[in-house]
Amino acid sequence: MRELTAGLLLAFSPPTSQVAPQTSERAAAVLEPDEAPRVRLEDVRARFTFFDQHGRGYQSQAGPVAGPGSERLVVYQPAMSLRLRGKDERVAQTIALSFDVVTAASPDALDAMSAASRTNEAGTLELQTTIEPNRNSRIDVRYGAHIEEHWRTGFGGLGYAFAVLDQALWFSAATNFVGDSFDPVSHLGTSGPQEQRYAINQNVSVDAILSRTTTGSLSYGFTAQWGTLANTWNSVYVAPSTPCDQESECGTRVGEALPTRRLRHAIEGQLHQHVPKTLTTIVLGYRYYRDDFGLQAHTGSLVLYQYIVPRRLYLRAFYRAHWQSGVDFYTTGLSEDDLPASVRTADSDLGTFWAHHAGGKLALRLHSRNDPTAAHHVLSVDYSRYQRTTGLSMNVFGIGYAREF
């Protein structure tokens, strides 16, 4: 869970760098050790987010047999990160840690059968090393792990970026890998031997300074997934072959079945426009997505940054609209004649819908009037509302604190 909080040119600002010392200087450093600390703290951030979701989906068993069932979900998420830099100014290390406390008895089939795991705790540790050999290049190495009730994940990635035309144009590429191992909890609440899924992702992008007040970016991402891709506790309603008095209570449910491979493509572009006179920055974005499940999606976004008090208080407001076609094998229910279908899902995330997401953030920067370069604090509060045409909705509340040294 990552967030943009700076102004227009932050994403394209050149990496800080320092020319490597000469051999004689290295020798002198050995004879006369530098009194500066070997590692210094550059940045500390902490955030608490609360997610409150309501809705109904045909994959959930928390309702009539024929569905739709409740998708009620509550998440409490504290998170923090540190950025460290050693004596070598070219190397920085970021450490991020987050926890999720999830109450999701409704959509989790295991909880629909038993209250044993109505609350699920999860934790993620991510480390990123950034190496800046010179002012025109950057190497990023990221790795980490995620652990929760019945799930284990390891991930890693390698990225490289370089600049040309006096840093007016940045090119970057990154490769990421994710491996999951989990208990295949079925829609009946039973579990079998561990199963796995894997994903490898390749991204390429270009960022350009188009004018003194305008920047733009364009990126393409390809992802290949394989293994057990289904949410094993999701289920699909099967109608009985003969009618009954209460149809909503008749029939049965079977587990969803997805292909064991998925290829995904995404193209995204952004345009950043800064208005110096009003201290306003406007960001326009568009993303197109498609995969070999038959799903296509279009997403448009508008973000506004507005300083209310220069260098002190700013507002971030955004709106995002999303439409997707749904996968080829989405269904709200099958008949017994359809049951041999090799692929099937009733997951509301894979259906057809419009989604609207809007919200705002208010951030206050506190620093010394006498020394603007000294360490300062940033306090923030935010709220957003997510709504689908299927009836699913989510309210997201967040508070944050950062200290930049």
The tens digit of pLDDT for each residue in 308-322 reads: 999 899 999 999 999
Cβ-Cβ contacts under 8 Å for 28 (sequence gap 6 or more): none
Neighbours of 72 (CB within 10 A): 17
Evaluate if residue 8 carries a pLDDT over 70: no
Evaluate if residue 222 carries a pLDDT over 80: yes
**What pLDDT was estimated at residue 371?**
67
Hey, where are the domains in the chain?
A: 119-397
DSSP strand E in 136-292: where? 137-148, 151-164, 169-182, 195-209, 214-227, 235-239, 252-255, 261-275, 280-291
CA nearest neighbour of 323 among 351, 347, 281: 351
Using 50, 70 and 90 to split pLDDT, how confident is the model at 336? confident
Distance separating alpha carbons of residues 397 and 393, to the nearest angstrom: 14
Evaluate if residue 290 carries a pLDDT over 90: yes
For all residues of the chain together, what is the average pLDDT?
86
**What pLDDT was estimated at residue 347?**
93
Neighbours of 26 (CB within 10 A): 10
Using 50, 70 and 90 to split pLDDT, how confident is the model at 1? very low
Distance separating alpha carbons of residues 401 and 79, to the nearest angstrom: 11
| Residues 69-84, mean pLDDT to the nearest whole number | 93
Using 50, 70 and 90 to split pLDDT, how confident is the model at 360? very high
Neighbours of 287 (CB within 10 A): 18
Query: So what CATH class is 119-397?
Result: mainly beta
**What pLDDT was estimated at residue 78?**
97
| Residues 260-271, mean pLDDT to the nearest whole number | 98
Evaluate if residue 270 carries a pLDDT over 60: yes
Evaluate whether 387 touches 393 at the Cβ level (below 8 Å).
Answer: yes
Using 50, 70 and 90 to split pLDDT, how confident is the model at 240? confident
Pick 32 or 143 by higher pLDDT: 143
Percent of the chain with pLDDT over 90: 66
Percent of the chain with pLDDT over 70: 84
Distance separating alpha carbons of residues 53 and 57, to the nearest angstrom: 12
- Least confident range of 9-18, 235-244, 282-291, 303-312: 9-18
Q: Which two tokens stand for residue 53?
A: 């979701």
| Residues 50-61, mean pLDDT to the nearest whole number | 91
Evaluate if residue 242 carries a pLDDT over 90: no
- Least confident range of 87-96, 299-308, 327-336, 338-347: 338-347
Evaluate if residue 56 carries a pLDDT over 80: yes
The tens digit of pLDDT for each residue in 129-142 reads: 999 999 999 999 99
**What pLDDT was estimated at residue 295?**
97
**What pLDDT was estimated at residue 155?**
98
The tens digit of pLDDT for each residue in 13-39 reads: 333 333 333 334 433 334 344 555 688
The tens digit of pLDDT for each residue in 162-184 reads: 999 999 999 999 999 999 999 99
**What pLDDT was estimated at residue 292?**
97
Q: Which two tokens stand for residue 73?
A: 């979900």
Evaluate whether 35 touches 59 at the Cβ level (below 8 Å).
Answer: no
Ranked by mean pLDDT, which of 9-18, 230-239, 296-305 comes out on top? 296-305
